[in-house]
Amino acid sequence: MPQNDATTPGRDLAADTVSVLLPLPVPGPYDYRVPSGMDVEAGAIVRVPLGSREITGVVWGEPTGEVGHNRLKEILEVRDAPPLAEALRAFVSWVARYTVNPEGAVLRMVLRAPGALDPPRPRVAWRATGEEPERMTEARRRVLALLSDGMPRGQSEIANEAGVGTGVVKGLASAGALQEVLLPAHGRSRQPDPETPGPVLSGDQAAAAAELVGAVEKGGFEAFVLEGVTGSGKTEVYFDAIAATLRAGRQALVLLPEIALSAQVLDRFAERFGAPPAMWHSDVPARLRRATWRGVATGEVRVVVGARSALFLPYAELGLIVVDEEHDGSFKQDDGVCYHARDMAVVRASLEDIPIVLSSATPSLETLVNIDRGRYRALVLASRHGGASMPQVEAIDMTRAGTERGRWLSPTLVAALTETLQAGEQSLLFLNRRGYAPLTLCRKCGHRFACPNCTAWLVEHRHLGRLQCHHCGLSIAPPQSCPSCAAEESLVACGPGVERLAEEVAARFPEARCEIMASDTMLGPQAAADLIGRVEAHEIDILIGTQVAAKGHHFPMLTVVGVIDADLGLDGGDPRAMERTWQLLHQVSGRAGRADRPGKVYLQTYEPRHPVMEALVSGDRERFLEREKAERERAAMPPYGRLAGIVVSGADEGEVRRLANALARRAPRGDGIETFGPAPAPLSLLRGRFRWRLLVKARRDVNIQAVLRSWLDPVKITGSLRIQIDVDPLSFL
């Protein structure tokens, strides 16, 4: 097998038998015989037979000895890829143990770039033979002119650059003027250059950057929290740490919430380092994922910017991890292997023995408590770059605002929007609800339109002319008559979504240029970048946005933010509801007032005395957080206690209930541990599956994983039933 000097060579295994971990949810690795003449080391990626299938797994270590030697099957082949380094194998085991999953289920997340292990297919390219085609056209001339430099190019590249159809290439080939050549799968792409200078950093930026650069140069694990309001220069600071990582000859990983992986990030990175990073998220096409996976493993890819799954890539020589917007809930995966990418990133950094930076304007309570406990070190950027001040926040008491029926803007907010328009400035109206209306009902009989597969109302999307379920994607045309009482034209929309709000804005401000910014109105990163560009260019006066508009965009002319329903995230039994609402509204507020223009934020609320509203209005963040910490500590909630959510689901409601009850009878209870439930989950039906929940709550010193294993491992489940374990749950639905 090819030796790759970028990886730590695994130790040679002496025996002719090894254990191989397969990317399957089975209890542990299986033993295989090593055919004579084959060289395998721990971590080697191998193909092995399993029943009638062939499957790719990883040599895990010494044999388990569970199956007699003479009945063992042989390893078929060592795949052409560097072996998984010891730190990554240790990480797989760690995540499996912590999340209470089989190691194979975690390994699957590492090996999940199908085709990355196949030998890269060569690219077909074309070069000019020097022969003139019999018939010459303008298009043909352009192609031959392009290729006259002797450099072979792919068909679509030629078509693009010469501005012709691909048919012209084919035509020239059959006329003998072009000849096919095979190129290596991917040429060496441009590498980020750490020597490109960044901006001159201000005092506290420079101090923070120096700490990080020092930690990168020294190597070794250390966790930093980079804290500062949006626009304080956190990105510039961690860019310096990335530059130091590249200079040290190591790779860097930047984890971002999926939502933030826009073209803006790419541009900004490319501007600083002269080349874009490798991107890793759900929209990256398979071909690129394969190349990135390989490039990461061989060390050719130097910087990855990705969503949470980028944490499981096989870095050859990782030197730094950055988790940007570390408080963001989208780092938590809550199906399959339930893990929190921020927390697991800290684990990976410690196993790789490298520094990690958690960056946020509003660090999570978990992270703040880790600073208090001395486990993470805080680096604080005090102010916005350029000295812009934080906006002034005002709560509008909706119980006495006098808003008209079927309208959502209070007179105070309308006045503020009017003034802003007249001043030639921009406003943002924030409403975290996609679509036209969250509920549709029949005026005659009261029938409500619910999803048949989920415990959820169907949301009207008027521009699409559909009623949709935001959980399972079900989409139906609104019926002409009520399906319950057959009344004609009796359906009414209840409550506002961004589309309905846009309708009100258009009616009130017909002269204003207004646009919606929501995940379903911008299809793809390009559309998002276009819209952001138009806001920046002041082609939009009033932006109406969901949480995608809350993130750190820089809109210099945006001076007013109106939050339509500030109470929206506060109901429900989620212990983090207050923290999250505060974070979100604080972030949204940060959109107002950039550079030299002070901003103003209006919170429409039915509870102006609520601690979250008071904290936002007073700007007294410390008091709010101290109060939150005290509350959580009193209730022994995370991070002062541990939680694990158990969801039993299945196609048959009775079976689900019986299993949940059976689990509850044997549930862990005793010193420092209690179990609540079972009860139907708030989302008691999801994608056609019934769901019941149990919640285990334990003191911090209890080994909750051991408790869960001894409780749930012996349970045999059959048919469509499933038990999902979620350690440190963020969602309680």
Interface residue list for ligand ADP (CB under 6 A):
199-202, 205, 228, 230-236, 385, 552, 554
Residue 590 or 650: the one with the smaller Cβ distance to ligand ADP is 590
Distances (CA, A) of 711 to 104, 348, 714, 723: 21, 28, 7, 12
232 binds, among Zn ion, ligand ADP, none (CB under 5 to 8 A by kind): ligand ADP
- Cα distance between residue 128 and residue 135, in whole Å: 16
Find out whether the peptide bond into 184 is cis, omega within 30 degrees of 0. no
**Residue that the structure tokens 């860019």 belong to:** 239
Which residues, numbered 473-512, are part of the site for Zn ion (CB under 5 A)? 474
User: Shortest gap between Cβ of 625 and ligand ADP (angstroms)?
Assistant: 19
**Residue that the structure tokens 């949301």 belong to:** 459
- Cα distance between residue 598 and residue 390, in whole Å: 7
Residue 230 or 251: the one with the smaller Cβ distance to ligand ADP is 230
- Cα distance between residue 262 and residue 674, in whole Å: 43
236 binds, among ligand ADP, Zn ion, none (CB under 5 to 8 A by kind): ligand ADP
Residue 476 or 506: the one with the smaller Cβ distance to Zn ion is 476
User: Shortest gap between Cβ of 546 and Zn ion (angstroms)?
Assistant: 19
Q: Residue 460 pairs with which residues in a beta bridge?
A: 437, 467
User: Shortest gap between Cβ of 199 and ligand ADP (angstroms)?
Assistant: 3
User: Shortest gap between Cβ of 544 and ligand ADP (angstroms)?
Assistant: 23
Which residues, numbered 440-479, are part of the site for Zn ion (CB under 5 A)? 451, 453-454, 469, 471-472, 474
295 binds, among ligand ADP, Zn ion, none (CB under 5 to 8 A by kind): none
Of 31, 33, 18, nearest to 83 by C-alpha is: 18
Residue 454 or 648: the one with the smaller Cβ distance to Zn ion is 454
231 binds, among ligand ADP, Zn ion, none (CB under 5 to 8 A by kind): ligand ADP
User: Shortest gap between Cβ of 650 and Zn ion (angstroms)?
Assistant: 17
Distances (CA, A) of 94 to 58, 63, 342: 16, 20, 15
- Cα distance between residue 181 and residue 125, in whole Å: 5
Residue 552 or 672: the one with the smaller Cβ distance to ligand ADP is 552
User: Shortest gap between Cβ of 240 and ligand ADP (angstroms)?
Assistant: 10
- Cα distance between residue 384 and residue 361, in whole Å: 11
User: Shortest gap between Cβ of 340 and ligand ADP (angstroms)?
Assistant: 22
User: Shortest gap between Cβ of 478 and Zn ion (angstroms)?
Assistant: 16
CB 220 within 8 A of CB 355: yes
Residue 412 or 453: the one with the smaller Cβ distance to Zn ion is 453
Radius of gyration of the chain (CA): 29
Residue 265 or 451: the one with the smaller Cβ distance to Zn ion is 451
CB 646 within 8 A of CB 695: yes
Which two three-digit tokens encode residue 265?
């990030």
Residue 232 or 426: the one with the smaller Cβ distance to ligand ADP is 232
Residue 336 or 552: the one with the smaller Cβ distance to ligand ADP is 552
451 binds, among Zn ion, ligand ADP, none (CB under 5 to 8 A by kind): Zn ion
228 binds, among ligand ADP, Zn ion, none (CB under 5 to 8 A by kind): ligand ADP
Of 598, 597, 566, 595, nearest to 583 by C-alpha is: 566
453 binds, among ligand ADP, Zn ion, none (CB under 5 to 8 A by kind): Zn ion
Residue 327 or 385: the one with the smaller Cβ distance to ligand ADP is 385
* 460-487 as b/e: b if 16+ CB within 10 A: bbbeeebbbbbbbebeeeeeeebeeeee
Q: Where are any strands of DSSP class E within 410-511?
A: 426-430, 439-442, 459-461, 466-468, 475-476, 491-494
Q: Which helix (H) or strand (E) holds 724?
A: strand 722-727
234 binds, among Zn ion, ligand ADP, none (CB under 5 to 8 A by kind): ligand ADP
Which ranges in 39-149 belong to alpha helices (H)?
Answer: 86-99, 103-110, 138-147
**Residue that the structure tokens 């919606």 belong to:** 516
444 binds, among ligand ADP, Zn ion, none (CB under 5 to 8 A by kind): none
472 binds, among Zn ion, ligand ADP, none (CB under 5 to 8 A by kind): Zn ion
Q: Which helix (H) or strand (E) holds 693?
A: strand 689-699
User: Shortest gap between Cβ of 474 and ligand ADP (angstroms)?
Assistant: 38
How many amino acids of this chain bind Zn ion (CB under 5 A)?
Answer: 7
Residue 144 or 265: the one with the smaller Cβ distance to ligand ADP is 265
Residue 83 or 233: the one with the smaller Cβ distance to ligand ADP is 233
User: Shortest gap between Cβ of 474 and Zn ion (angstroms)?
Assistant: 5
Burial of 436 (0-12, 13-18, 19+ CB in 10 A): buried
- Cα distance between residue 237 and residue 198, in whole Å: 9
CB 429 within 8 A of CB 564: yes
- Cα distance between residue 311 and residue 349, in whole Å: 10
User: Shortest gap between Cβ of 682 and ligand ADP (angstroms)?
Assistant: 34
User: Shortest gap between Cβ of 321 and ligand ADP (angstroms)?
Assistant: 17
**Residue that the structure tokens 């002409």 belong to:** 480
User: Shortest gap between Cβ of 228 and ligand ADP (angstroms)?
Assistant: 5
340 binds, among Zn ion, ligand ADP, none (CB under 5 to 8 A by kind): none
Which two three-digit tokens encode residue 70?
């003479």
Q: Give me the half-sphere count of Cα atoms (radius 13 Å) on the Cβ side of residue 696.
A: 32
Residue 594 or 689: the one with the smaller Cβ distance to ligand ADP is 594
Which residues, numbered 363-422, are part of the site for Zn ion (CB under 5 A)? none
Q: Using CB under 5 A, list all residues that contact Zn ion.
A: 451, 453-454, 469, 471-472, 474
